[in-house]
Amino acid sequence: MKLVPVVLLIVAGAILNTVTAEKSSESTTGETSHQLDLHKKIISISNVPITSTSPYNPAIQFGQILYLSGQLGRNHTTGQLISDDTQNQTHQALHNIQDLLHAAGSDITKLLQCRVYLTDINDYQVMNQVYAAFFSSTEFYPARATVAVTALASNAKVEIECTAFATRSASSETHSTGHKCSMVSSNFIVFGISFYFIAHLFAF
C-alpha cells in the first residue's frame, strides 16, 4: 500500500454564490437587493517600504477576504533572512503574517487556510512546534497543507502563504457578519458558504 499526498486546497461554494447573487438581484415584492463587494485593496505594513522587484504585493484584500503572499523569515527592515535555521525562519514568517493581518485590521484568529512550503521535509516537526505555539488555542488553527519543495527564494528553508478574513470590507467600514467555524480539528474551515480544506493522505 502506498500513501500518496493529495492536496485538497478547495474553495467550494461558487455555484451557491452565483445562485445567491441571482436570487438577491430579483426585484419581486418583498425581496431585498444585495450587491457583492468587488473592491480590491493592496495591504502593506506601515512604514515598511515594498522593496521587492518581483511583480507582487504583500497582500490583497478583496471584499472581506485577505490573500497574503508567501512570507519568508525575513526581517522587515533589512529584508534579509533572520537566520539560517528553520525554527527562527518559521517564527519570523509567522510574525510577518501577523503584521500584515494587523495592517488589514485582522489577526491570526481569522486565518482560514495556510500553505507551508519546506525545502526539507525533515524539518516538519521543528516547523510544526513553532507553528502550533503561535496560536493561543487549537480552535484558531486554520486549515493547512504542508508541501516539500526543492528550493525557495533567497535560499529560505520555509515559506508560509495564507488566506484570512477581515472584519471590515475593502470598500467600507462595515463589520463582517460572516463567522469562522472550525470542525474536526481544522480538517476544514467553513466561512460563510466557502469551505477551506486541509490536505489529506490517501492510500492506494
Is the model's pTM score more than 0.75?
no
Is position 49 within any domain?
Answer: no
d(CA 134, CA 154): 24
- Count of structural domains, the chain: 1
d(CA 184, CA 24): 32
Is position 33 within any domain?
Answer: no
Reported as a pLDDT band with limits 50, 70 and 90, residue 182 is: very low
Helices (H) and strands (E) in the chain, counts: 3, 12
Is position 115 within any domain?
Answer: yes
Over the chain, what is the mean pLDDT?
A: 76
d(CA 141, CA 111): 8
Range of the domain at 146: 3-20+39-44+56-203
Is position 183 within any domain?
Answer: yes
pLDDT of 19 reads 38
Question: What's the pLDDT tens digit per position in 43-59?
Answer: 877 655 555 567 888 89
Is position 29 within any domain?
Answer: no
Is position 34 within any domain?
Answer: no
* Contact assessment for residue 88 and residue 82, using Cβ atoms and an 8 Å cutoff: yes
Is position 32 within any domain?
Answer: no
CATH number at residue 86: 3.30.1330.40
The C-alpha cell 480544506 sits at 197
> Is 70 exceeded by the pLDDT of residue 42?
yes
Percent of the chain topping pLDDT 70: 60
Higher pLDDT: 1 or 65? It is: 65
> Is 60 exceeded by the pLDDT of residue 41?
yes
Q: Where are the alpha helices (DSSP H) in the chain?
A: 14-24, 86-103, 124-133
Is position 145 within any domain?
Answer: yes
For range 145-155, the mean pLDDT:
97
